[in-house]
Amino acid sequence: MRQWFKSGDPWIWMIGGGLAISLIMVVGLLMLIAVRGFGHFWPAPIMATSVTTAEGESDSILGIMVRSETLPAQRVRESGQDIPADQTLVTRHLIKVGNRDLTGRDFVWYLDSALGELRYPDDALRIERREWGNFYGFAVALERAGEIAVRGEGLWSEMQQAIDRANELHQRIQTLERVEIGRINSAMEKLRLERKALELQGISGAELAAAEADFAARQAELDRRFEDIQAERRELMDQSERDVLIAETASGREVRIQLNNIVMASRNNAMGLFGKIGFYGHRIGDFLSGYPREANTEGGIFPAIFGTVTMVLIMSVLVTPFGVLAAIYLREYARQGVILKLIRVSVYNLAGVPSIVFGVFGLGFFVYLLGGTIDDLFYPERLPAPTFGTPGLFWASLTLALLTLPVVIVSTEEGLARIPRTIREGSLALGATKWETLWKVVVPLSAPAMMTGLILAVARAAGEVAPLMLVGVVKLAPSLPVDGEFPYVHLERKIMHLGFHIYDVGFQSPNVEAARPLVYATALTLVLLILILNLSAIAIRNRLREKYRAEGD
Amino acid sequence: MIAAEKVGLPSGQQSYLPSADAMARRRRRRYLADSAAKWMVRAGGGGVVVALALIFVYLFSEVAPLLRGASVEQAGQFQAPGYAGSERSLLALERYDTLAMRHSSDGRLTYFTLEDGGLVEELRLDVPEGVTVDSIAIGEPRSRRVAYGLSDGTAIVVDHETRLEFSDGERSVVPAPAFPLGRAPVRVDDQGQPLEALAVQKTRDGDTGMAARTADGRLVFVRFRTTTSFLTGETEIERRGWVLPQPPGEVRELQLTANLWSLIGVDDAGTLLYWDISDPASAVLRDQAGAVEEGERVTELKMLNGTFSMIVGTSHGNLSQWFLVRDERAAAGDNIFRLTRVRDFDRHPGAITRIQPEYTRKGFAVVDDAGGLGLHYGTSARTLYLEQVSDTPLRSVGISPVDDVVIAEDDSGRILRFDVWNQHPEVSLKALWGKVWYEGRQDPDYVWQASSGADSFEPKYSMIPLTVGTLKAALFAMLFAMPLAIAGAIYTAYFMAPKLRGYVKPTIEVMEALPTVILGFLAGLWLAPFLENHIPAVFTVLIGLPLSFLAIAWAFSRLPQSVRASVPPGWEAIALLPVIALVVWALVSLSPLIEIWLFEGSMRQWFTDIGITYDQRNALVVGIAMGFAVIPTIFSIAEDAVFTVPRHLTQGSLALGATSWQTVTRVVLLTASPGIFSAVMIGFGRAVGETMIVLMATGNSPVVNFNIFEGMRTLSANIAVELPETAVNSTHFRILFLAGLVLFAITFLVNTIAEVVRQRLRDRYSSL
């Protein structure tokens, strides 16, 4: 035995074990996110069963099994559930029963021993609503304009059509509200600012009167258009309120659900495999292209994806030229020596400075100092409401550009250093100036390295949250940063961000249990985005290495 | 060919090459472009470098004002309007720094402009004929309430309020004196004796309390409640009076707390006296304490904002802060407080004549009879300014509600006006890094509590809880990450099959790019509840996994040679993967049973019983999550260091008969140790600055301990939580910038050391 220890073999196994643990954690983490994230959209079977309470009363429930756990009975007692004294180990299930408007809680723990036989009725219905979360129950009848239209046979297909119609109307109302009314609002705001700007310029007399008259006319025109749109919106609203679904919960309580409150209805248990796959794709599409609802705990994440992408794009536009310029300066133009070495080490080290420090700098310097100055100079009519003197898209991008600058510089420098001497000397020998050599030979050759740097920077920026909390990301932005209004890209607007969305929904939301699947799905989206970016950076770098290994030799 | 082309040449031209002239022009242009590019790149690139340096400069410039003391500049002087000769006076200012108020002991309240002392309004109080003002008392500055004690046992209470008026868009401040208890004097002493020492205070619900020492040495206390009828709008004043226990000596000064529960006095021997008057009918003299040395007298006693602390000024110019501290001794009983001397301030050159507390902070201005003016601050024990500003003795001092103007009056009625910059008195090195005795606490402590809703709140800015929290989080993360990452790095670089290495290394490295918000969310929402439900598994896995590795290694070495050969060398780690999964699964399933067998069904309860606090989101969760975040960093750099150890070294060692494990420990590790060190440093730097994981996986409570089952609050998480909600350029704002600067400095230093070590290692390898 001692001999065996002396040989060192056990230690090799031990450090191998260390690596294996790391590997399992990495793979396990990715799998956890993937399984939970993808699983969220799958139409889970709806189970029906009976529950016997401690007092012996029986009730039937309908819902979806979320997870199960086995715990010492004592621990469950601590959490307030009543367990008979003779039990030491209990298994319990978390079941999503929905119907928050009726019972107040949509997730309930049930003891395994209290549950009766599990059944999966084909006609069990899952309805995703715009308010109050999901409804689980059975459809009874469809009411149209106050009268029962369909009951029993044919109800399901009729209901689907009615839901499609209601959704279409809802879509049109949304468009009216988002686009048309938004346009009028911004026109009114513009009018108000113009008026205030005139005041600030100190215009008076006839000129002022003329301007006032003009303003009044434009205001009246806007008011009239607003009235028109309102009327149209009311008309659509009335139409969408035509149908009502009468449904029944598992315990037999009758419920009326307005069809314009339904996002989609499904009979999960009755679906075939292809039906499920179609439904799955449909929900993923909704998730990626939809707007959040119910304090971000339901609906889609489109604004967050859009915000992240816009911010990262603007950041790329800012960081690339400066990063490349700095790298060329450091590698090609600056006098090599101790000072440059110091500068280089410092710049590299900035990549290791905590991101929150950049956030602090961004808030203090960009937002308050630069932004405040810009407001004073260019937007005096909007004061005291700040325009650029408050966190926003541009400052978020600028802060991230600063944060990722070292990444681009390091990567570009590496690329420049990799260009074989022979190529440069060849160019110089042909009589090219230094700049011509750089611009026509060295920079194009090292472009893939710059690309790598940029992709790494984008990957880092997309996942960064801490500094953004300070400089421009909010939980719910009223409008997207890019729209049809001049100047199309609104640099001063606040944005939503995938990473911050995860933090906010996971930790600031009132209904964590309901938000949990959504957070996993959002996390999965973000992880995929970043993995793809990183893998492409690695691929580019590897191809680059191969290429120069061949050319350099 | 050439000949054929030459034919096409226009007449007079010798060749297709540009003429010498054109060539020279073009060359000039190219060189111009070259040098222009040179300057542009220099400007641009240098600019970027400067911009990055700007981060440090800017952070520092935001923090720098914290270190400044106060600056005081005399901005004018004038004669007090209506100065009659020798009267005592009380000075006050209003928020816009346009008007000043002066109460004088001949029964007048004058409002005058701060600009030149021009009289705005003089109000003569209804002091009856033949009666004199024997004492003047002022309540908490915020209440603006002043009481005149008269020689017939009555008092007049007046509020020196002001009002804003707007006309033509111009703002003006006008006097608006108010008499909460009516213009006529109210009775304080039932026996009608002169009130020689007086204290007044306005409670939070508007009552007025007054305590006085009469000429015949009795102590009386009255409380007035004003109620306005909703129906008639009439004000009714209800008076209740008590005689308090006889003081041992002759009381000179009196002060009341704003809740009217405590009365503090000082007698002519310099003894501080504390009466508990929470039930005035059975008031007792609870405590007395000597505040001076032999031959010294207490000349001034004032309560700081919040009426919790007293400042005692003496005839020798000494200043000390006192407050009531709960007596912890068992014999003392419940809620018994003792007078405690908390701290002293720099000594004034002359006897203290007047102390004036600030309106919203714990600071105060002091004047003495040698013409000295001092600005001091309670919490930080700082004396921000202390200079002789006048040749004549100063008698009275007033301070602006926004702390930017101080006025002082000398013994000849001359008023000096000073402009003051005193933005950050709360901060001193000791207040940030040392134990501070905060109001209402039993003893000095490290506390971080930056804000609260109350006006009289004392901000507590100790950086220790945050620094300890940061180190605690980083420590547990490193404890988790270091063994795994370094073991993994050595194994990957030295033992692993090369083909496998090509997959394993990128797999772990790509995790470095994983957003930490995802790790934080998993740690907070998945890992923390999971660990809480399986506490025993934490311990069993910690012991069980290494044991199982050993067991497998042992079993493997006992296997026949033919079976062993089927596992190629360098695949051990892969062989262990299913083992780990199995062992962890088994131990986790066993966990509830262990809890039932050994800990009566709840290990968490068991922890509580033996006195260990257990939070769901604790340092263990952070350690694992943040450890996970730094493993790729450490792994990647350490692996590079081990892998690049020159082959001839290891081959030499093996050739001399060392086993491969001996070669690793004696040759490879020794050579690569600087690289591994630098990997650990960079990992540490990352752990120190990580924000989202700690923010989401801990309760963010600023505690000072290293209990693995409790949470913490780190510098970075604290910035993320508090910075969006602070007022720009406030002390709190700047302290958060300081936290950022500290983080910046620590990580920059750590990374630089690591980088230098790595550079030197690289040089050494190339020379080997």
pLDDT, one tens digit per residue, over B46-79 is 888 888 888 889 999 999 998 888 899 998 889 8
User: What would the two tokens of residue B528 be?
Assistant: 């923390």
C-alpha of A154 from chain center: 39
CA-based nearest residue in chain B for residue A74? B601
Please tell me which residue, A150 or B196, carries the higher pLDDT value. Answer: B196
Tell me how far apart the alpha carbons of residues B482 and B470 are, in angstroms, rounded to a whole number: 17
CA-based nearest residue in chain A for residue B729? A364
Selected from 3.30.360.10, 1.10.3720.10, 3.40.50.280, 3.40.140.10, the CATH number assigned to the domain covering A308-519+531-552 reads 1.10.3720.10
Q: What are the backbone angles phi and psi of residue A256, rounded to the nearest 5°?
A: -105, 125
B434: DSSP letter: S
Residue B246 has pLDDT above 90, yes or no: no
C-alpha of B158 from chain center: 38
Residue B565 lies in a domain: no
pLDDT of residue B7: 54
Residues 57-96 of A with CB under 8 A from B: 69-75, 78, 88-89
Same domain, B211 and B100: yes
Q: Mutate which of B517, B664, B693, B721 to test chain A, going by most A C-beta atoms within 10 A?
A: B517
Tell me how far apart the alpha carbons of residues B335 and B327 are, in angstroms, rounded to a whole number: 7
A495: DSSP letter: B
Residue type, position B118, single letter: G
Residue B418 has pLDDT above 90, yes or no: yes
Same domain, B423 and B487: no
Same domain, B444 and B483: no
pLDDT of residue B228: 78
Residues 390-419 of A with CB under 8 A from B: 402, 405-406, 409
- H/E run at residue A95: strand A89-96
- Beta-carbon count within 10 A of B586 CB: 15
Residue B48 lies in a domain: no
Contacts (Cβ under 8 Å, ≥6 apart) of B8: none
Task: State the average pLDDT over residues A96-118.
Answer: 86
Pairing of strands B162-167, B154-159: unpaired
* Of the residues B449, B472, B494, the one at which a domain ends: B449
Domain locations in chain A as residue ranges: 2-39, 308-519+531-552
The SS3 assignment for B106 reads coil
CA distance B549 to chain A (A): 6
Residue with tokens 């497998």: B552
| CATH at B611 | 1.10.3720.10
Residue B4 pLDDT class (50, 70, 90 cuts): very low
- Classify each residue of A179-191 as buried b or exposed e, where b means 16 or more C-beta atoms within 10 Å of its C-beta: ebbbbbeebeeeb
Residue type, position B184, single letter: A
* Of the residues B410, B426, B449, the one at which a domain ends: B449
Mean pLDDT of chain B: 88
pLDDT of residue B599: 83
Asked if the C-beta of B706 comes within 8 angstroms of chain A's C-beta atoms, the answer is: no
pLDDT of residue A304: 92
Contacts (Cβ under 8 Å, ≥6 apart) of A178: A479
Residue B3 has pLDDT above 50, yes or no: no
CA distance B691 to chain A (A): 6
Q: Which of B659, B665, B686 sits opposite A352 (nearest CB)?
A: B686
Sign of the four-CA dihedral B521, B522, B524, B526: positive
Q: Which of B508, B690, B723 sits opposite A22 (nearest CB)?
A: B508
Tell me how far apart the alpha carbons of residues A90 and B595 are, in angstroms, rounded to a whole number: 13
pLDDT of residue B11: 61
pLDDT of residue A500: 92
| CATH at B221 | 2.130.10.10
Angle between helices B20-67 and A302-328 (to 10 degrees): 120
Q: Mutate which of A6, A21, A324, A409 to test chain B, going by most B C-beta atoms within 10 A?
A: A21
Tell me how far apart the alpha carbons of residues B69 and B83 are, in angstroms, rounded to a whole number: 34
pLDDT, one tens digit per residue, over B537-589 is 999 999 999 999 999 888 888 888 888 877 777 788 888 899 999 999 999 99
Contacts (Cβ under 8 Å, ≥6 apart) of B84: B104, B106
Residue A550 has pLDDT above 80, yes or no: no
Angle between helices A512-552 and A9-39 (to 10 degrees): 120
With helix as H, strand as E and coil as C, how does B361-427 read?
Answer: CCEEEEEECCCEEEEEECCCCEEEEEEECCCCCEEEEEECCCCCEEEEEECCCEEEEEEEECCCCCC
- In this structure, of A379-383, B69-73, B101-105, the range with the lowest mean pLDDT score is A379-383
Do A312 and A461 meet the contact criterion of CB atoms below 8 Å apart? yes
Q: Mutate which of A343, A349, A458 to test chain B, going by most B C-beta atoms within 10 A?
A: A349
Tell me how far apart the alpha carbons of residues B51 and B57 are, in angstroms, rounded to a whole number: 10
The SS3 assignment for B82 reads coil
Range of the domain at B519: 464-533+590-767
Q: Which of B596, B631, B755 sits opposite A89 (nearest CB)?
A: B596
pLDDT of residue B2: 46
Asked if the C-beta of B516 comes within 8 angstroms of chain A's C-beta atoms, the answer is: yes
Same domain, B692 and B598: yes
The SS3 assignment for A455 reads helix
Same domain, B369 and B489: no
Task: Please choose, from the candidates A526, A468, A529, A486, the residue with its C-alpha nearest in 3D space to the C-alpha of residue A502.
Answer: A526
Residues 579-608 of B with CB under 8 A from A: 580-581, 589, 592-593, 595-596, 600-602, 604-605
- Beta-carbon count within 10 A of B585 CB: 10
Residues 608-667 of B with CB under 8 A from A: 628, 631, 635, 659-662, 664-665
C-alpha of B729 from chain center: 14
Secondary structure (DSSP) of B501-546: HHHHHHHHHHGGGS-HHHHHHHIIIIIHHHHHHTHHHHHHHHHHHH
Residue A272 pLDDT class (50, 70, 90 cuts): confident
Asked if the C-beta of A539 comes within 8 angstroms of chain B's C-beta atoms, the answer is: no
pLDDT of residue B331: 67
The SS3 assignment for B703 reads coil
The SS3 assignment for B579 reads helix
Do B707 and B619 meet the contact criterion of CB atoms below 8 Å apart? yes
Please tell me which residue, B212 or A192, carries the higher pLDDT value. Answer: B212
Residue B581 lies in a domain: no
The SS3 assignment for B556 reads helix
Sign of the four-CA dihedral A507, A509, A510, A513: negative
Chain A residues within 8 A of B573 when measuring between CB atoms:
16-17, 19-20, 23
Same domain, B150 and B204: yes
Asked if the C-beta of A358 comes within 8 angstroms of chain B's C-beta atoms, the answer is: yes
pLDDT, one tens digit per residue, over B613-623 is 888 889 999 99
- H/E run at residue B273: strand B271-276
Asked if the C-beta of A460 comes within 8 angstroms of chain B's C-beta atoms, the answer is: yes
* Of the residues B424, B449, B474, the one at which a domain ends: B449
Residue B23 lies in a domain: no
| Long-range CB contact pairs, B172-176, < 8 A, 24+ | B172/B98, B173/B94, B173/B96, B173/B98, B173/B99, B174/B120, B175/B99, B175/B101, B175/B111, B175/B120, B175/B121, B175/B123
Same domain, B490 and B384: no
pLDDT of residue B634: 94
User: What would the two tokens of residue A360 be?
Assistant: 């602090």
CA-based nearest residue in chain B for residue A23? B508
User: What would the two tokens of residue B429 be?
Assistant: 């090195």
Same domain, B314 and B341: yes
Report the phi/psi class of residue A202: left, alpha or beta, with left for phi > 0 and alpha for psi in -120 to 50.
left
Q: Which of A12, A439, A460 sits opposite B495 (nearest CB)?
A: A12
pLDDT of residue B367: 94
pLDDT of residue B209: 92
- H/E run at residue A245: strand A243-248
Same domain, B672 and B628: yes
Sign of the four-CA dihedral A331, A334, A337, A338: negative
CA distance A102 to chain B (A): 27
A369: DSSP letter: I
Task: Please choose, from the candidates B676, B511, B549, the residue with its C-alpha nearest in 3D space to the C-alpha of residue A21.
Answer: B549
pLDDT, one tens digit per residue, over B656-666 is 988 888 899 88
Q: What are the backbone angles phi and psi of residue B112, rounded to the nearest 5°?
A: -140, 160
Residue B316 pLDDT class (50, 70, 90 cuts): very high
- In this structure, of A6-10, A42-46, B101-105, B453-457, the range with the lowest mean pLDDT score is B453-457
Tell me how far apart the alpha carbons of residues A44 and A33 are, in angstroms, rounded to a whole number: 18
C-alpha of A273 from chain center: 29
Q: What is the pTM of this model?
A: 0.89
Helices and strands of chain A, counted as H and E runs: 19, 12
CA distance A230 to chain B (A): 38
CA-based nearest residue in chain A for residue B759? A345
Same domain, B413 and B351: yes
Do B580 and A20 meet the contact criterion of CB atoms below 8 Å apart? yes
> Residue B326's beta-bridge partner residues?
B337
Same domain, B327 and B372: yes
Asked if the C-beta of B762 comes within 8 angstroms of chain A's C-beta atoms, the answer is: no
Tell me how far apart the alpha carbons of residues B104 and B357 are, in angstroms, rounded to a whole number: 19
pLDDT of residue B472: 94
Task: State the average pLDDT over residues A540-553.
Answer: 66
pLDDT, one tens digit per residue, over B260-294 is 999 999 988 889 999 999 888 888 888 888 888 88
Angle between helices A443-463 and A512-552 (to 10 degrees): 170
Same domain, B216 and B359: yes
User: What would the two tokens of residue B438 be?
Assistant: 């905060």
User: What would the two tokens of residue B459 be?
Assistant: 């901000």
